[in-house]
Structure 1
Amino acid sequence: MAIAIDREMAGDINNPSLELINYCLEEHENEIPRLNVLFDYYDGKPHKIDQTPKDTPHDRDEIYVNNAKYVTDMMTGFMIGNPIAYSGTQGKDIQPLIDALKKMKISKHDTELEKGLSAMGVGYELHYLSVTEDAVIPKVAWIDPRGMMLVVDDTVERTPLFAIRPREKQKIDRSTYWEITVYTSLWIIIYKSETKKLSWDKLLNNPSVKENLYNAVPVIEFRNNEEKQGDYEQQLSQIDAYNLLQTDRIKDKKNFVKALMILYGFTLPDEKPAEINGSMVLNAPSKEDGGSAEFVTNTFQESEVQVLADALLDDFHKTTYIPNLNDENFAGTQSGEAMKFKLLGLLLALSVKTSYFEDGVRQRLNLISNILNIKGKNVDAEDIEVKFKVNLPFNRKDVLEQIKESMDFVPLLISLGWLDDVDNPQEVIDMLKEQKIENLKLQAKAWGVQAEDSHSDLDDESTEG
């Protein structure tokens, strides 16, 4: 989590003191229990903040319907199912940046990043350089927020000052030590210490220092929303209630099978009774003598329990904005506009998520551009347009009809942007112009009209004697 501090009290932010680093580590430690709870719900190990998960619901003979994973996986698919599109403004050449993003496998990276954002509300992206014999390649990695923190100033700008990544590592003799990496705008400082709390007498050796070529803190904090909350964080009690209900239903069914039998007028013999084909045979008095037997069961109305389960699920889907695709309202043929109204809550939630995700993407492009410019590529991140294509059912036929009907009063450059798979409308318009020219040439040839640049032997004078 981002830790805000007074810039004037921070001292040299390119070489933070051990006291300042320890303060940030302690502040970050306070957030880890909450993040553990959120991720463990996704991982199928639900527990409270003051508890440590030691087993799974299966081991505890409990029912756990993983609605947390359902929300995160669905939201990740909606957000990043279609990769983010990048295009240049006013014909700017951004191909070097596109090539760099492809080498990073940025689509896969964004999927991992969004999954972490959806589950824990915050995620970190670390930029680093991979040095090979032939080149220096910029790369990115998603860092679990439990293992990374960004330190910013306490102004409204929240300017990044430095980042810290603590990692517990193991030697070959299985003893452990801590590696604390500090990322500043100029340097990457690595401390190796016996303990997580740094002190000069606990350091295993002198800290190593590397130059940071990004000319900025190479760590970006991505936020899921303003509150940095996960997509199901406010629904943990609903998840617990639904799973408790399902667990009790199974227990009631088991108890029903294990019903008690009450015998009236006789008792079972002490010796083992006779059996015929596996069925027990008893000598019992006749009904006329007052003998009878009956089962004692805990009666429950399954239909009433299902009503409660459906109500819990309805509230869960309503508050997470994730549609229940098993709902009968999604069955049958629906128009595009009707589906939009049913998914309105989800679309509004995605608009918030994409706006915060784009903030991080913009910082990403700036860092990559810094490295590309060092290599002489001359790329300006301001010349890049970022477009999110929400991965939802899309009625292309309706959109094409709207484009056709609006051609008299909506410029084609704008209406083509309504298509979900068109990243650069101007490029499509240029392709249409080339296609029309080619069609005219083919049509002229079909009608026998000679093109200006063509040559026919019929135009030559006869050379025969």
Structure 2
Amino acid sequence: MAIIRSRELLDNWEDIPAKLIHSCISEHQESIKRIDLLERYYKGKHDILQRDLGEDKGLPNNRLVANHAKYITDVAAGYFGGDPVKYSGDGIDAIMAAYKAADVDSHDSEMIKDLSMYGVARELHYMSSDDVPIPRVSCIDPRQLFLVVDDSVEYRSLFGVHYYERRDLDNKAAGWTINVYTATRILRYSAPRLGAPELELIQETPHYYGGVPIVEIWNNEEQQGDYEQQLSLINAYNVLASDRVNDKQQFVDAILLLVGASLGDDETEAGKTLKLLKKFKTLELPAIEGAGASWLTKTLNEADTEVLKNAIKNDIHEFSMVPNLTDQNFASNASGVAMKYKLFGLEQLAKTKERYFVQGLRERLKLFASILRVKGQAASTDDVTITMTRSLPSNDLETSQVITNLKDIVSAETLLAQLSFIDDPAAEAKKAAAERAAALKEQQKAFGMPMGSEDAEDEDPDDAE
């Protein structure tokens, strides 16, 4: 999450003292343990893998991982950001061209995944190292990048820090690089370790983004990941599944109980008897009353275990608001309205994400517009409309009927943005207008009335008859 400092602390926020940089890095380090935990669960490295049942190694110790964390993130991120973001408005052609060159659509997918996993995503804006530099943007690991904002209600950016450990040829630690981004400059420092009293300034370069070139986007107000509150339920499910397999294994490895009989007087004799038993599958018991043989097992109540397993699984999906798409309730022939009811919780989750994500997208637009204006390209973000569509099987026939009903009421660009196969509504609207104009000219020409031409203006209506 963003680090907050009062703007009154410094008169000049272009000159950040080393003490303040160290203070912010120390505060940021406190959040890394949490992010490590969330990443570990996404990758399937759950706590169950560290379970030790004690010193008695004779007991089975299966450790199963049901990776609900990865499922929740993959489904939530795919539903929310599976389709590219659409932009429409005047004066954004240069920005859209720059977005295409920077492959922003792929970048958005990385940002949305970080949002779902960590509850926050951060991007760094920079100029490429090409012969003709172009603006680019990169999704940076939130453990290496943070933003410092003021304590006003607007949370205006003060500066940002990107720091990482350097490695030598033998992959051994060789100090730290700390990049500080202000509203006008990039300051690169070197330090032997984090918290070193002095920072060595290696390089200072200006930038022309017109603000701190770092954008931070939240997943929700609490800045929590989509499965963060379900970790205890995920742990319970893993324990139950593992113990269930342990019980099955113990059932298979049951103890043979003999009453009134013995396999032998010593270990060697008992071993020979067991080999004969495995070979002939026959056990001879003495002819005495009460003699017998049976397996010593415990009764497994599979029904109760299955009920508990399903209850935990349902709680995971219910509280994360990410449905189980393999459930029988998700019939393939469900209508669009019925499917929306089933996805109501996921849609509310997506709407919360969208509010914060669009805010971040507008900050990105401003940074791109600023740098493009410096390069002499006209770019405006005043009336940009951002449209995000959910990644679901779309009913374009139903959508086209809605568009027809709203014609002459809603703008063409807005209507075209509703169609799943339209990537650039503004360009498509221009193409459609050009085709209509061309068709109109062809019709006029066919009737001998080329409207708008010089001949049409000079021609006498009576002569045309």
TM-score of the superposed pair, with normalisation by structure 2:
0.85
C-alpha displacement of 1:254: 0.7
Q: 1:268 to 1:328 in 2, by over 3 A?
A: same
Asked if 1 retains the 8 angstrom alpha-carbon contact of 2:47 and 2:235, the reply is no
Deviations 1:365-413 (A, max 9, x none): 1111111111110101224221111112322233334445x36895574
The secondary structure found in structure 1 opposite 2:125 is strand
The offset of 1:344, in angstroms, is 1.1
Unpaired runs of 5+ residues, structure 2, are 52-60, 451-465
| Aligned partners of 2:177 and 2:191 also within 8 Å | yes
Q: How does 1:370-449 map to 2 (within 5 A)?
A: 370-404=370-404, 406=405, 413=412, 417-422=417-422
In structure 2, the CA distance between the partners of 1:94 and 1:284, relative to structure 1 (3 Å rule), is: same
Give 1:207's match in structure 2, choosing from 197, 202, 215: 202
- Which deviations, in whole Å up to 9, do the C-alpha atoms of 1:89-125 show, x marking residues without a partner? xxx2422211111111111111111111100001110
Partner of 1:284: 285
Of the structure 1 ranges 435-444 and 370-379, higher mean CA displacement relative to structure 2 is found in: 435-444
TM-score, normalised by the number of residues in structure 1: 0.85
AA partner of residue 205 (structure 2): K
Q: Deviations over 1:214-248 (max 9, x none)?
A: 12111111111111111111111111111111111
What letter corresponds to residue 357 of structure 1 in structure 2? F
**How far, CA to CA, are the matches of 2:150 and 2:440 in structure 1?**
63
Match of 2:124 among 102, 105, 126: 126
Q: Percent identity?
A: 37
Amino acid at match of 1:140: V
Letter in 1 for 2:78: G
CA distance in 1, matches of 2:420, 2:147: 35
Deviation at 1:362, TM superposition (A): 0.7
Alignment of 1:207-356 (within 5 A): 207-269=202-264, 270=266, 271=269, 272-273=272-273, 275=276, 278-286=279-287, 289-356=289-356
State whether residues 230 and 319 of structure 2, in contact with CA within 8 Å, keep that contact through their aligned partners in structure 1.
Answer: yes
**Letter of the aligned partner of 2:252 in structure 1?**
V
Q: Which has the higher contact order (CA 8 A, sep 6+)?
A: 2
Mean Cα deviation higher: 429-438 or 118-127: 429-438
Root-mean-square deviation (Å): 2.8
Indicate yes or no: 2:212 matched with 1:193. Answer: no
- Report which stretch shifted further, 114-123 or 331-340: 331-340
Aligned residues of 2:88 and 2:425 also touching (Cα < 8 A): no
Q: Of the candidates 145, 149, 154, which is equivalent to residue 146 of structure 2?
A: 149
Structure 2 vs 1, CA of residues 228 and 397 (structure 1 numbering), >3 Å: closer, same or farther?
Answer: same
SS at match of 1:324: coil
- C-alpha separation in 1, matches of 2:103 and 2:426: 27
Deviations 1:292-316 (A, max 9, x none): 1111111121122111111111111
Alignment partners' CA distance in 2, 1:126 and 1:394: 34
State whether residues 148 and 166 of structure 1, in contact with CA within 8 Å, keep that contact through their aligned partners in structure 2. yes
Partner of 1:462: none
- How far apart, in 1, do the equivalents of 2:256 and 2:384 lie? 77
Residue 14 of structure 1 is matched in structure 2 by: 14
Q: Aligned pair count?
A: 434
